[in-house]
Structure 1
């Protein structure tokens, strides 16, 4: 019996060839895998003006002759991801995209397989405007290859120059700090402070029988948890740049506690998500923070009240501007890394029971300009007392952390806005700079 090639086999080959040609015309390299592939048909390599960048994207091609996609209309459609494919893709160490090719109309659509997709069947939505595989998608595809873990990252620009803003604020430390012996654990010490009539303060660290803080414990309620005759002032640099990694970690924790003490009048700390967020002043009442951006005075609604979509007389949720703090040392300097985010409550005070969908929806609207504006806003907030005094209820003799301007870097080429997601109008700041995000 003579061998035959089925129409589906032929269509598969046509689809892979068409997708390879499309990537080549977009300026990518594309290598087709062998017949032993189990769910990845090819590897696309990002190139910049013909220069390979060793940044890879795994591509799974799905071809059809003329069939309509599920729930297809003029705006988009859905595609079902099979559990066996998802199980296979879970182990990938590079981004994976699905490319759909339809022979009848010569259309190409792409979408990233979510990294947290799991192994259960799920539908992937394709937007016919945003998910076309053509030269307009080059920068969004390149953005997929940027690692989002580790010390930091930024979106690599592939094409007109500009200034980029780094989300790191240089920290000016107090010149001295205080060390004392104590017989209490951190938990026991906190309990002692809370039991007393004086306002408790927690900008300190207890480790291995030693109490460490930037303020003199003899002048605060902390005198009740230390051995007063063992209090000693030392140079901050001794701990800040210690050779031992564990000591630097403890110092980083002390910096976070000191920041918590400084902003306690205006920000809350959520220990579960490890974020600072703006306090509401009253239930279901918005709050605005006015500040001066680089070119003009502006303001941001840092606590936003959103009405219910089904009942306009009722509050749906309250959104608070927030950020994830992280202190990092580079050579002989400490930085506060600010990753902007949001915190959701039901009325300004009670945490929302289902914040994940609200957060993901808001994050999809954030682009480079809005993130840049948030970094500027947080810098202005954290430095208001340095410039004007009085934001934090502290005396002039109180040791404190001071923050410098976020550094800027000249980029040879511009980061396209569509790398950051959907476009939206931004009013947080009037600054012609991008954001380099050290997450």
Structure 2
């Protein structure tokens, strides 16, 4: 009988050859297991391109090759690869990272997943299927930084060849510019903000809040010698100071007073569109009466877009009844670095039962949405708030500029090395459709 080598053996060798070529193109080394093996076809050892140094940082490889044109459950964007329960258990219990690499020999292309990261999710183990994104998970030269980072993460202090990724870092700080150049201080008969505010509302319908009262003295951006302020303080005690005297003060009491004044000014600037919740410490978009949705249009990082900043959700059992409203919100903190003040913007959400009063299940709603949100979603929210705050009352032919302060954009700054996005995605919850969407009434 003549000796034969089957077609499947040839396909398997083609798969290994493809993996070896890609690994060598990366500048790393590939060692084939050979002989008897129980689910590991080879090892990748990292090598430093610049010095030629080999690192003893290893990745195990399980290769699967197919000559079929159609991959399992394939769509334009993805496909699924079924795995045996015993294989998953074997891959996960080892000490080294394991890459599952699927080679499609007919088209000379391959896809990869880090198995331990992927099967951290119990639902993935239960399904026994690995879902590949055909664009993100392509096994080619572009995968080198991600593979290097996985190998280097196995033990503290491990050094892999640098991941040469150019990234733009986005800061959630907005520089503060003081439009008003002076502060005013005077004595008053009122002892607290609450008392002073009540007296101010007796004089004017719309009493602005850019002031604080402490110990019988009022500190304000407003000229206290003008109406209605001169009715509420002792004009003979009015003092005026350059704003830098307070903005740059090293006195802790003056710093606290100045931050309180900045916070009240932030509420004054945004009060037409936003409401401040003192309990939750959040600024959030107001609900428009008789409307179930409020949309804000803005320029994101790359293009113009929009966001539902207020949305109404119905009760599942009674779609005509309101369950709650979700409002886009942020928490604000002012910081001084050197001689410059910044507003720190932390995006979040606020929940109300009717658009105005806080929903009693707000904490549960927030916890649920945070479980689904990934880094890109949070950055997208910050882009919206940055657009709003840096354009709020900047002044145009229809409205004057806010007279006391404004916020500017802190330029994004590049870095030469970074963490591949694929690694962040692998450790975040996989995207799930229908978040807060199935029961939306508009």
Q: Same fold (TM over 0.5)?
A: yes
CA distance, structure 2, for counterparts of residue 241 and residue 189 of structure 1: 27
CA distance, structure 1, for counterparts of residue 345 and residue 252 of structure 2: 22
8 Å contact from structure 1 (residues 322, 341) kept in 2: yes
8 Å contact from structure 1 (residues 161, 412) kept in 2: yes
Q: Which residue of 1 aligns with 2:189?
A: 183
Q: Which residue of 2 aligns with 1:405?
A: 409
CA distance, structure 2, for counterparts of residue 388 and residue 373 of structure 1: 25
Q: Which residue of 1 aligns with 2:175?
A: 170
Offset, 1:244:
1.0
Gaps of 5+ in 1: 1-24, 28-48, 51-101, 110-123, 146-156, 427-439
Offset, 1:364:
2.1
Structure 1 stretch 280-289 or stretch 191-200: which is displaced more?
191-200
Offset, 1:385:
4.1
Aligned in 2, Cα 1:386/1:260: closer, same or farther, shift over 3 Å? closer
Give the counterpart of 1:348 among 355, 359, 362.
355
Matched, 1:128 2:92: no
Q: How does 1:172-251 map to 2 (within 5 A)?
A: 172-173=177-178, 174-186=180-192, 187-251=194-258
8 Å contact from structure 1 (residues 279, 303) kept in 2: yes
Q: How does 1:324-339 map to 2 (within 5 A)?
A: 324-339=331-346
Deviations 1:381-424 (Å, cap 9, x if unpaired)? 12224555389x7x45x522111113323233344332773354
Q: TM-score, normalised by structure 1?
A: 0.59
8 Å contact from structure 1 (residues 201, 222) kept in 2: no
Matched, 1:296 2:272: no
Offset, 1:242:
0.4
Give the counterpart of 1:260 among 267, 286, 292.
267
Offset, 1:206:
1.9
RMSD of Structure 2 on Structure 1 (CA): 4.1
Structure 1 stretch 157-166 or stretch 170-179: which is displaced more?
157-166
8 Å contact from structure 1 (residues 169, 407) kept in 2: no
Structure 1 stretch 181-190 or stretch 193-202: which is displaced more?
193-202
Give the counterpart of 1:105 among 89, 96, 100.
89
Aligned in 2, Cα 1:402/1:313: closer, same or farther, shift over 3 Å? same
Q: How does 1:32-111 map to 2 (within 5 A)?
A: 105-106=89-90, 108=92
8 Å contact from structure 1 (residues 368, 420) kept in 2: no
The count of corresponding residues between Structure 1 and Structure 2 is 303
Higher relative contact order (CA 8 A, sep 6+): 1
CA distance, structure 2, for counterparts of residue 386 and residue 311 of structure 1: 41
What secondary structure does 1:218 align onto? coil
8 Å contact from structure 2 (residues 390, 409) kept in 1: no
| Larger radius of gyration between Structure 1 and Structure 2 | 2
